[in-house]
Amino acid sequence: MELKEYQHQYYIDNMEKIKERGRKFYQDHREECIERSKRSLWSKEHPEERRIIVKKCEQNLKKRVLTYYGGGKLSCVKCGFDDIRALSIDHLNNNGYEHRKEMKRTGVNFYRLLEKQGYPIGYQTLCMNCNFIKREVEKECYPKSK
Give the pLDDT confidence of 36-72 residue by residue, as tens digits: 887 777 778 888 988 999 999 999 999 999 999 999 9
pLDDT(126) > 80: yes
In sequence order, what are the beta bridge partners of 90?
124
Dihedral over Cα of 115, 118, 123, 125: its sign = positive
CA dist 2 and 12 (Å) reads 16
CA Rg, the chain, in Å? 21
Residue 126 burial class via C-beta count within 10 angstroms: exposed 0-12, middle 13-18, buried 19 and up: buried
pLDDT(11) > 60: yes
**Could you give the 3-state DSSP secondary structure of residue 104?**
coil
pLDDT(124) > 90: yes
Instruction: Give this prediction's pTM.
Output: 0.65
Position 82 scores a pLDDT of 95
Give the pLDDT confidence of 69-109 residue by residue, as tens digits: 999 999 999 999 999 999 999 988 887 777 777 777 778 88
pLDDT(15) > 80: yes
Specify whether the backbone of 123 is left (phi greater than 0), alpha (psi in -120 to 50) or beta: beta
